[in-house]
Structure 1
């Protein structure tokens, strides 16, 4: 029960619904076990003693009990569902909230399909036990307890004989739970793997079709689907082995009841009506106990789901606001790195090695180097997506971690190499970082990003609804909207991570011209593979294997026979040859 105890904070605030539901269930169970008593009275008092004038009273009493039971069942089911629904509403919100604040380190290894499975299938699995399974378990205990009480009232000896097989049932149920719980945990993981495969396939459908890999993807999904099927079949096998044993134990009880109970009636130690009542009551015990496997099944699924949910809730947030964090509305944007060393995982190589540089307010810093050289790592540390292992990063003279996360990120505008747009209007996408932005501000940001003209050419202009991930726009158009989104928040620091890689040379020239105006008064970091994108920077930092190997202006670095010059020669070789031939 440890899993349920740890998730108590989500369902216990709504305990009143659960308690009232259980009270009404107690009424339902009480009325249910009265039926055999009415049967005993009818047989012994009305039929055998020939008191037929009692028939109307017995009938009316029976109908009233049925009506009362119907009302009690309604409140039990409604309040039980309300308890489960309200509980998982809070749980789902907590999970989603947790996902928003988990560090990038978590998402480096997390799979989208697996997370979606936890927020949907696992949450629903946990809810189903809260709404239905838990009540069924309590109902089983109450129904068996009350039935046994009446049986002992009629005949203690017959009740004891009937209970003789119960220890065997307890052992069987215990062994069943030991085997079925790991099986359901395995099913949950397999389902998450299958969901992840579907999500990846749909996201990468352009690549699949462009390489004619449809049959290959069908095969990969078939493997995941087969694994899910095999695990379910294995679990069904466990159920198939244990359920007949539990059923057999129940029927042994019936045989013992009929044999010994009949002998008691023959010897005058038990009335015929009491034997009939006993026969009904034993099914009130056997039925729930035969369903005990189903309840254990449900409990195991719920427990497995709860464990997977706790795995998310227990994740550590290693990037967070410290006590007394500085809340700054506007920063100057002075960034300093002092001997910063960073690695993403303890088993990874160092991503940055003793990085030191100074970026005064309003200056433009270019970052260039091969893939994996550490360029993006620098900007991710500035945004506090990760914390450095050693060294310190200063922002306006204060350690970066001394500021609140909101203060830091509200003052940083980021345009990533792969632009992500939401399935909403263009206007909402541009103003995402500043929802209260005026239309004039939104349009001004779009104009600076060279996006206004193509937006106005669309059917509904700025109110045009975009498809998933900006479907319907070219790569360059998506990137320009992302640039407008960064400009709209009026950041002190602007980070352009290969921001013009998806646009043509003519559009890049227009955006660069617009950036010259936008970057005035802002500290700007430009990550680029094209030298043309950063040759105007105040300082260019050349990265290699996590280290700064060269730094200086474009002209200074071109005159050095180093990394930058080699990149320059490669990129401008064809152009220079063309110019020479033209001459």
Structure 2
């Protein structure tokens, strides 16, 4: 997913993957096609009526009575009423079916994205994913409704028209119908090119989304460096790239439509010239000729509609293809078939000969780690950047799977327990706090959805956040802005700590939770963290060693593994790497 794929997959494969989405709506689809049959039959009756009236007027005028005309008119009126009712169902319920399928696909796509691992997001632009989950699926509504309907109507009209016209004059019929496959073949030459162009256009739109998101989320950095012109130029290039992709789309669309118009004219020419010759030789009657003209008009409209639907068809195929590309991304972190949920975890953690490297890199980040953390211990991880401290913590949460050894929580290998139950027992406070767009209340409640107001206030009080929250304009109902931009770093951090207090997990991971704060904010947050760690197994990553000198045990992690371990005084006495870092 890091590089956008513009190679198209086989249409038959895409349709096969798409068809299961019709299953919940098969009764609606069946009724929709029944209504399509009714509207088609109504269209097919008119040429028969005109043919009958014309022949009677030409050869049996005495049979053309007012009663006959009134009867035929009444029948045709009844047919048109049926046509209107059937068409209303197709246009309303049929379209809603398409919208429901689009909704189902979007739900499946979002749920799948929630399951994908960190490594997927490390290599994928969020803007591209936004395009796939929104605009890419818009055309699926029209596709899901019109695809079976249009092809079914075309099949019925062409089949019935061929039978009726063939019974009238087989040679003229064969002459007309021989042009239809040629017309379709020429039109289809541009079909795959159109789909490739549509996919390029969608990819480029995703790139624009990614660039806009990047620029707007980093708008403070942009302004601080006075780089508005640089961002505008980056956007201009992306926008021009999108225009180039659209030009290619419209070039193939123009060739596509011009081809169909040429064959339209050719078929009319054949009917008029050949029909006139047949009529001159007495092989068809004037009524038959009129019926031919009406059927040809109807057939051309049907074929043109199918050919023009190809544009919509390819748009839908593009959306389905880009949907499938994400759905086919493997979920790396899966529960084992016999995985069990864990509850009431005590907090014993054991690393047994653990090694790990990232999927796209064969070099180990961690090699043969062996250590044990007992229930209630406060363990600190220190060491140079890049030694794997954050990676180690991510492995406990099973954000990645280890490549060798085992990690055990209370004696259970974490690969043998459900990830949901494992992560529900672990709380994490990170340096880069993420607050969701919403209120202070919403962001604290995220720690345990459905918590009472009293529980949320208690969590805020334990985190030392209650005082500043009460001073906000709307208290707990204050809107925090995108990513919490309306709050200071210390305020955001205390809300994230309140979130973990509400979750109340037995295991706690603190990943440089105070390193980005000023001294005063750090002091307040550190007090909150000290309260939070009481009675919990805690693993703290810290660059500021003053924050972890009271830890039960300190592990000094380097590229060679755990180089030193012990408490603060023991490590200072050794005079090794920790002592040098402390100094």
TM over 0.5: yes
Structure 2 vs 1, CA of residues 258 and 155 (structure 1 numbering), >3 Å: closer, same or farther?
same
Aligned match for 1:20, one of 6, 31, 37: 31
More divergent stretch after superposition (368-377 vs 550-559): 550-559
Q: Give the distance between the partners of 1:91 and 1:374, measured in 2 at CA.
A: 38
Matched, 1:403 2:406: no
TM-score between both structures, scaled by the size of structure 1: 0.93
Structure 2 vs 1, CA of residues 49 and 382 (structure 1 numbering), >3 Å: closer, same or farther?
same
Q: CA RMSD in A?
A: 1.9
CA contact (8 A) 1:184 1:301 kept: yes
Structure 2 vs 1, CA of residues 178 and 440 (structure 1 numbering), >3 Å: closer, same or farther?
closer
Q: Give the distance between the partners of 1:167 and 1:453, measured in 2 at CA.
A: 77
Q: Give the distance between the partners of 2:39 and 2:242, measured in 1 at CA.
A: 39
Residue in structure 2 matched with residue 257 of structure 1 by the alignment: 271
Structure 2 vs 1, CA of residues 147 and 487 (structure 1 numbering), >3 Å: closer, same or farther?
same
Aligned 1:41-190 pairs, distance under 5 A? 41-46=52-57, 49-50=60-61, 51=64, 53=66, 54-190=68-204
CA contact (8 A) 2:490 2:525 kept: no
**TM-superposed deviation, 1:180:** 2.0
Q: Give the distance between the partners of 2:560 and 2:281, measured in 1 at CA.
A: 95
Residue in structure 2 matched with residue 7 of structure 1 by the alignment: 18
Q: Give the distance between the partners of 1:56 and 1:546, measured in 2 at CA.
A: 98
Q: Give the distance between the partners of 2:362 and 2:494, measured in 1 at CA.
A: 34
Aligned 1:87-486 pairs, distance under 5 A? 87-347=101-361, 349-486=363-500
Structure 1 residue runs of 5 or longer lacking an equivalent are 570-583
**TM-superposed deviation, 1:146:** 2.2
CA contact (8 A) 1:494 1:519 kept: yes
**TM-superposed deviation, 1:513:** 3.0
Structure 2 vs 1, CA of residues 163 and 437 (structure 1 numbering), >3 Å: closer, same or farther?
closer
SS in 2 for 1:270: coil
CA contact (8 A) 1:494 1:522 kept: yes
Q: Give the distance between the partners of 2:40 and 2:28, measured in 1 at CA.
A: 18
Q: Give the distance between the partners of 1:435 and 1:43, measured in 2 at CA.
A: 75
SS in 1 for 2:189: helix
SS in 1 for 2:371: strand
Residue in structure 2 matched with residue 40 of structure 1 by the alignment: 51
CA contact (8 A) 2:150 2:306 kept: no
**TM-superposed deviation, 1:550:** 2.4
CA contact (8 A) 2:439 2:478 kept: yes
TM-score between both structures, scaled by the size of structure 2: 0.93
Matched, 1:511 2:511: no
**TM-superposed deviation, 1:77:** 1.7
Residue in structure 1 matched with residue 8 of structure 2 by the alignment: none
| Structure 1 segments of 4+ aligned residues over 4 angstroms from their partners | none
Aligned match for 1:527, one of 541, 552, 574: 541
Q: Give the distance between the partners of 1:56 and 1:322, measured in 2 at CA.
A: 74
Q: Give the distance between the partners of 1:254 and 1:131, measured in 2 at CA.
A: 31
SS in 1 for 2:103: helix
Q: Give the distance between the partners of 1:564 and 1:130, measured in 2 at CA.
A: 64
Q: Give the distance between the partners of 1:81 and 1:174, measured in 2 at CA.
A: 26
CA contact (8 A) 1:144 1:284 kept: no
SS in 1 for 2:333: coil
- When the two structures are aligned, how many residues end up with a matched partner? 569
CA contact (8 A) 1:350 1:546 kept: no
**TM-superposed deviation, 1:179:** 2.1
Aligned match for 1:541, one of 555, 558, 573: 555
